[in-house]
């Protein structure tokens, strides 16, 4: 029987208690949900298979998106696995660490001399013109993203045995955080749990609309001026002047009585190194921003906290 977009995504990811970091930092209990164990090393694997399956069901032979690398690598992998073509639009000035990988999976790369957000819009338009399946964030198929990431919530409850007090997630477009929170809410509404975790959103101090709105105590996410953002090889997964699921993410942070923090590249790198030394886990520095933010929450509350940190990607 052929697989469909409703089948299970790539398997359950590792979950463990980070006892050494727990003792070194401000945690009562610190647990890691490691999304870097997937075949292409990021949480994007959870949604890419869904999109490729749907594209096949709808009769497309090509799937497309704009990406700074991680999502492009994941889509191209699953497209190749299931006999589809992939076209990935990437900003030409990005670091391009994953370009060889995308090409190895058979993906076609379109380098465009624009920022990530403009690359998404270019590929959205190209998908219409060329009759390609559009897997871009914030597009007509993006409900699959929330569906894919919501599974992380049920896995955490199964692995931990309860709902954590806090849940920390790195945010770029806000899709992963929104999807996980939706999973917890759905279980609470179904009477399967009696609470949801307080969210901790972590992003770059070089520009992200979600965290910027929360730090200014605004209830509405606004696009940032392009001059206000600065991409680096460290913050590329997080930096943006448009967050496609930003309003949903911001609403989730407020609804959960959560927090959001802007993290510097230096701190991301430092905590990534601490994580590797203490726990033997190699995570993307941008992913480690969630540990930094969690520690800031504990410091601000002046108490040790119980927290699950979602590490969204593995390091090199």
Instruction: Please say if the pLDDT value at position 43 is more than 60.
Output: yes
Instruction: Please say if the pLDDT value at position 6 is more than 60.
Output: no
Q: What is the mean pLDDT of residues 70-74?
A: 95
Same fold, 15-41+142-311 and 45-134: yes
DSSP state of 235: T
CATH number for domain 15-41+142-311, candidates 3.90.1300.10, 1.10.599.10, 3.40.50.720, 3.40.50.1100: 3.40.50.1100
Instruction: Please say if the pLDDT value at position 274 is more than 60.
Output: yes
Q: What is the mean pLDDT of residues 47-53?
A: 95
What is residue 316's predicted lDDT score, i.e. its pLDDT?
73
Which of 203, 167, 170 lies closest to 283, judged by CA? Answer: 170
What is residue 5's predicted lDDT score, i.e. its pLDDT?
46
pLDDT tens readout for residues 285-310: 999 999 999 999 999 999 999 999 99
Instruction: Please say if the pLDDT value at position 250 is more than 50.
Output: yes
Place of tokens 């209990």: 29
What is residue 96's predicted lDDT score, i.e. its pLDDT?
66
What is residue 95's predicted lDDT score, i.e. its pLDDT?
61
The whole-model pTM stands at 0.94
Q: What is the mean pLDDT of residues 14-21?
A: 96
Q: What is the mean pLDDT of residues 67-92?
A: 95
pLDDT tens readout for residues 224-246: 999 989 989 899 899 999 999 99
What is residue 2's predicted lDDT score, i.e. its pLDDT?
42
Architecture category of domain 45-134 in CATH: 3-Layer(aba) Sandwich (3.40)
Q: What is the mean pLDDT of residues 83-93?
A: 93
Confidence tier at 10 by pLDDT (50, 70, 90): low
Report the distance separating Cα 193 and Cα 99, nearest Å.
42
Instruction: Please say if the pLDDT value at position 72 is more than 70.
Output: yes
What is residue 30's predicted lDDT score, i.e. its pLDDT?
97
Place of tokens 């959103």: 201
Q: Give 294's Cβ-side CA count (13 Å radius).
A: 34
| Percentage of the residues of the chain whose pLDDT score is greater than 90 | 88
Report the distance separating Cα 153 and Cα 300, nearest Å.
26
Average pLDDT, the chain: 93
pLDDT tens readout for residues 198-219: 999 999 999 999 999 999 999 9
What is residue 281's predicted lDDT score, i.e. its pLDDT?
95
Query: Three-class SS of residue 1?
Result: coil
What is residue 11's predicted lDDT score, i.e. its pLDDT?
57
Report the distance separating Cα 202 and Cα 153, nearest Å.
18
Which of 69, 116, 65, 71 lies closest to 224, judged by CA? Answer: 116
What is residue 97's predicted lDDT score, i.e. its pLDDT?
81
- Domain locations along the chain: 15-41+142-311, 45-134
DSSP letter string over 199-223? EEEEEETT--HHHHHHHTT-SS--P
Instruction: Please say if the pLDDT value at position 110 is more than 90.
Output: yes
Task: Name the strand (E) or helix (H) holding 90.
Answer: strand 85-91
Place of tokens 């690359």: 119
Distances (CA, A) of 261 to 203, 213, 216, 269: 6, 11, 11, 16
């Amino acid at each position: 029987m052929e697989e469909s977009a409703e089948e299970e995504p790539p398997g359950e990811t590792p979950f463990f208690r980070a006892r050494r970091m727990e003792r070194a930092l401000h945690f009562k209990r610190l647990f890691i949900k490691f999304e870097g164990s997937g075949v292409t090393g990021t949480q994007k694997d959870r949604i890419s298979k869904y999109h490729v399956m749907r594209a096949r069901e709808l009769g497309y032979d090509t799937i497309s998106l704009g990406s700074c690398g991680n999502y492009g690598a994941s889509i191209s992998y699953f497209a190749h696995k299931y006999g589809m073509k992939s076209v990935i639009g990437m900003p030409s000035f990005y670091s391009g660490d994953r370009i060889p990988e995308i090409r190895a999976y058979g993906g076609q790369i379109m380098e465009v001399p624009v920022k990530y957000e403009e690359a998404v819009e270019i590929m959205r338009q190209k998908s219409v013109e060329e009759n390609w399946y559009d897997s871009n964030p914030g597009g007509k198929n993006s409900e699959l993203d929330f569906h894919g990431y919501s599974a992380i919530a049920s896995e955490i409850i199964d692995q931990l045995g309860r709902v954590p007090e806090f849940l920390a997630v790195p945010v770029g477009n806000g899709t992963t955080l929104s999807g996980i929170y939706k999973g917890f809410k759905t279980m609470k509404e179904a009477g399967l749990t009696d609470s949801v975790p307080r969210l901790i959103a972590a992003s770059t101090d070089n520009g992200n609309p979600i965290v910027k709105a929360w730090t200014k105590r605004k209830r509405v996410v606004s696009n940032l001026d392009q001059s206000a953002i600065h991409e680096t090889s460290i913050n590329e997964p997080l930096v943006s002047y448009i967050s496609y699921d930003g309003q949903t993410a911001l609403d989730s942070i407020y609804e959960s009585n959560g927090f959001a923090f802007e993290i510097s590249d230096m701190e991301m790198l430092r905590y990534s190194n601490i994580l590797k030394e203490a726990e033997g886990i190699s995570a993307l520095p941008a992913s480690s921003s969630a540990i930094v933010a969690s520690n800031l929450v504990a410091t601000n509350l002046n108490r040790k906290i119980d927290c699950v940190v979602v590490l969204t990607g593995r390091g090199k």
